[in-house]
Amino acid sequence: MATVSEFAALSELSTSAAPLSREAAYHLLQSDDAALPSLLAAAQSARDKFKPGVITHSRKVFIPLTNLCRDYCGYCTFRRDPGDPGAHTMTPDEVMEVVRAGERMGCTEALFSLGDKPELLFPDMRDTLRHLGYKSTLHYLEAMCEKVLRESSLLPHPNPGLMSTEWLKRLSSVSPSMGLMLETTSDRLLAKNAAHENAPDKIPAKRLRVSEDAGHQKIPFTTGILIGIGETLEERVDTLIAIRDLHLKYGHIQEVIVQNFRAKSKTPMANWPEPDRGDMLRTLAVARLLMPTMNIQAPPNLSDPHYADLLDGGINDWGGVSPLTPDFINPEKPWPHLEQLRHKTAAKGFALKQRLPVYPEFAQQASAHSELLAHKLGTAANADGYARRAA
């Protein structure tokens, strides 16, 4: 339970760039619903001081390059084994067909989401890659990012899972930003019957290493937390602080996603309790107070129909929203229509702006990675760094 003096301190803290301490964050995340209005007011003050007036989104197409994955996260319905219904690796023609359709609908981001290193587990994937002419999924992803960059007006944003230092470098020359959800720093979730029991690529130290490598290389990087998968509230704060500290050290975290777990049928966590509205709003507010000057995002489709409330938690971004493709990770949760998103955002007093996959303040950092990127970003961004082709 937070104390009165903690809330009194919040009003001062919310307008200073000095972040919340770990102990204060633990307390605030444990506060009850009666304390929620004060917490939200502090988070909103911080957002309105450092990210005033504008909520951003990225108009995207979602490209599930392959849904084969060597991990078995307890909450995932995206992944498949070879031979499962719906198992699929897209061909280059299929990728470009989606990209062309996205161009026609004013999209500016090609989000590549895919399973982690399926060829290490499945001979079928090795055959598929050999047939396509690539040594690994990452070689294929690199080629598709470059193809999209050279042949379309969309900018790629890959989310391929763990990557080596060399692969971060290679992908950073064909994509202005990339992402890896940290999800949690809790090793407890690797234990028997926990969310990441069968997910070797979800070892927190490995994901922190990739995030740190991206910092060394000054790659605009998206990461975030997945709440409600078995972590304690303290572990949730620790994860947010790990992200904050990486950014303080390297200045490369362009956005922090706070994603709420949604239970999906036919998964090991089908009956697991979902975070409620208060839990999500408290987490958003604590994230904002821990990282007052950073970009904080929450996906609207995972809180539909009350997603506009997420603005009360201090976010300044809705993430990628597609007018064309479903959210293949959460196919049962359609994205809101962009006009509805604009209307609900305006009703809370904000202008909705279309950003590129890389945030305006990180575009220069992205352009330094290749001449091709510098050229494409120069074409895609307006003078303020937002999408020139905003729909």
Whichever of 259 and 367 has its CB closer to ligand SF4, that residue is 259
The CB-of-329 to ligand SF4 minimum distance in angstroms stands at 7
The CB-of-376 to ligand SF4 minimum distance in angstroms stands at 28
Whichever of 80 and 288 has its CB closer to ligand SF4, that residue is 80
The CB-of-161 to ligand SF4 minimum distance in angstroms stands at 6
Q: Which residue has the tokens 């605030």?
A: 28
Neighbours of 273 (CB within 10 A): 10
Q: Which two tokens stand for residue 232?
A: 């304690």
Which residues make Cβ contacts (< 8 Å) with residue 33, sequence separation at least 6? 278
State whether residue 7 is helix, strand or coil: helix
Residues that bind ligand SF4 (CB under 6 A): 69, 71-73, 76, 78-79, 115-116, 161, 199, 201
**Cβ–Cβ < 8 Å for 10, 38:** yes
Q: Which residues pair with 217 in a beta bridge?
A: none
The CB-of-76 to ligand SF4 minimum distance in angstroms stands at 3
The CB-of-323 to ligand SF4 minimum distance in angstroms stands at 24
Torsion sign over Cα 193, 196, 199, 204:
negative
Q: Which residue has the tokens 């009666």?
A: 34
Whichever of 13 and 114 has its CB closer to ligand SF4, that residue is 114
**Cβ–Cβ < 8 Å for 324, 109:** no
The CB-of-196 to ligand SF4 minimum distance in angstroms stands at 8
How long a stretch of residues is the chain? 391
Whichever of 226 and 373 has its CB closer to ligand SF4, that residue is 226
Instruction: Please work out, in degrees rounded to the nearest 5, the angle formed at the alpha carbon of residue 145 by the alpha carbons of 336 and 113.
Output: 45
Whichever of 71 and 238 has its CB closer to ligand SF4, that residue is 71
Whichever of 179 and 313 has its CB closer to ligand SF4, that residue is 179
Which residues make Cβ contacts (< 8 Å) with residue 76, sequence separation at least 6? 69, 264, 267, 329
